[in-house]
Amino acid sequence: MPRVALVLHESPMLYEIAIAAEVLGVDRSELAPAGRWYDLVVCTRDGRPHPWLPDHPTATYAALLGADLVVVPSYDDLAGEPDPELVTELRAAHAGGSRVAALCTGAFVLAAAGLLDGRAATTHWMHAEELARRYPRVDVRADVLYVDEGDVLTSAGKTAALDLCLHLVRTDLGASAANGLARRLVVPAHRRGGQAQFIDAPAAPRSPDGLGPTLDWARGRLDQPLTVADLARHASLSTRQLARRMRAELQSGPLDWLHQQRIVRARELLERTDASVDQVAASCGLGTAATLRRHFHRATGVTPTAYRSMFRGPVS
C-alpha cells in the first residue's frame, strides 16, 4: 500500500487536514480494482498524537523520509517562518524520492524548503501574490485548482484540496477508485487542475434542477455520436444557451465535457473489463483504437494498455 505521511505542523488548519484524512486515511480498498488503499501516518514535531487525529498512527517528522507521499496541509501563520526541522525533513524526503503535496497555503512551507523553485505552483488566490513576492523563483498560478508537477503538487484554497486528493487517488489507484470515492463523498468526480478558481465574483444563477437529467442521458449514450445539438435538444435549450449553462454550472463547454466523459468511461472499462482496446474505443464513442490511444495518452500520459496493466483489478 502507498505510505502517506500527513504533516500536522505547528500552524495547521482543520478543514484541509480533515479532507486529507478522509480521502487518504480511511481504508476504502473495496473501491480499488487492485484491492489496496493508503497507509497513513500522522507526523508531528514530537511524535505525539494530535488531538484532531488521535486514532491514527503517529510519528515524528523523521518519518517523512521513506514515505511514498508527504501531504502538507494549509499553514495559518503566513507572517512567520515554518519550523526549520520540518523544512529539513521535507527536503530529505523529497530528495529520497517522496512525492510532496501541499494543500492551500501549505505551498508556503514547500516554498520555504525550496521545493517549488523553478516550478509552477498554486495556493489560495487571496495569498498568491504574497507567495510570488516572497518566493520569486516560484511560477505562481493564481487561477487554477491544482498543479501536478509529478513529484511536487499544490492545490488552491479550501475545497480545491479535495480536488487534489481525488486526483492523487485517480493517479495512484485508478479512475474507478476515485469515482467511487467521489460518489460516497457526494462531490464531482473530477475537476481538472487547470480549471479556474472562483475569485471574488458573484455566482452565476442556476436553475433549480440544473443540467443533471441531460448529463445523465448523455453518459448513457457515450457509445453514440452525440453532438452539441443533441444535448441542447434534450435540455430544451438552444446550443448557445446550453454552452452558457454548462460553463456556469460545470466550468466546461459541451464538447470538452463530452470528451472528458468518454475518457472517464474508457478508464473504467480498462480497469473493470476484458474488452479489447478496439471494443473500449467503440463503447466510449472514440471510434477506433488509434483514436482512443491518441486521446487517452494526451489525457493520462500513458497508453490504454499501460493504464490497464497499472490499474487492472479482478473482473467481475
Structural domains in the chain, sorted by start? 3-185 (3.40.50.880), 203-316 (1.10.10.60)
Residue whose C-alpha is closest to residue 260's, from 189, 315, 206, 207: 189
Task: Tell me if 263 sits within 8 A of 293, measured CB to CB.
Answer: no
Residue whose C-alpha is closest to residue 186's, from 211, 159, 204: 159
Please classify residue 158 by burial: count the beta carbons closer than 10 Å to its beta carbon, then call 0-12 exposed, 13-18 middle and 19+ buried.
middle
Cα–Cα distances in Å, from 123 out to 52, 149, 212? Answer: 23, 14, 31
Tens digit of each residue's pLDDT, the chain (316 residues): 899 999 999 988 999 999 999 999 999 999 987 788 999 999 999 999 999 999 999 999 999 999 999 999 999 888 889 999 999 999 999 999 999 999 999 999 999 999 999 999 999 999 999 999 999 999 999 888 899 999 999 999 888 999 999 999 999 998 889 888 988 887 766 565 554 443 333 333 334 357 889 999 999 999 999 999 999 999 999 999 999 999 887 778 999 999 989 998 998 899 889 999 999 999 999 999 999 999 998 887 889 998 888 776 544 4
> Half-sphere exposure of residue 58, counting CA atoms within 13 Å on the CB side?
15
- This prediction's pTM: 0.70
Task: Tell me if 194 sits within 8 A of 203, measured CB to CB.
Answer: no
Segments in the chain forming alpha helices (H): 14-24, 84-95, 107-112, 128-134, 160-173, 175-185, 212-219, 228-235, 239-250, 254-272, 277-283, 289-300, 304-311
Cα–Cα distances in Å, from 74 out to 26, 110, 167? Answer: 20, 11, 18
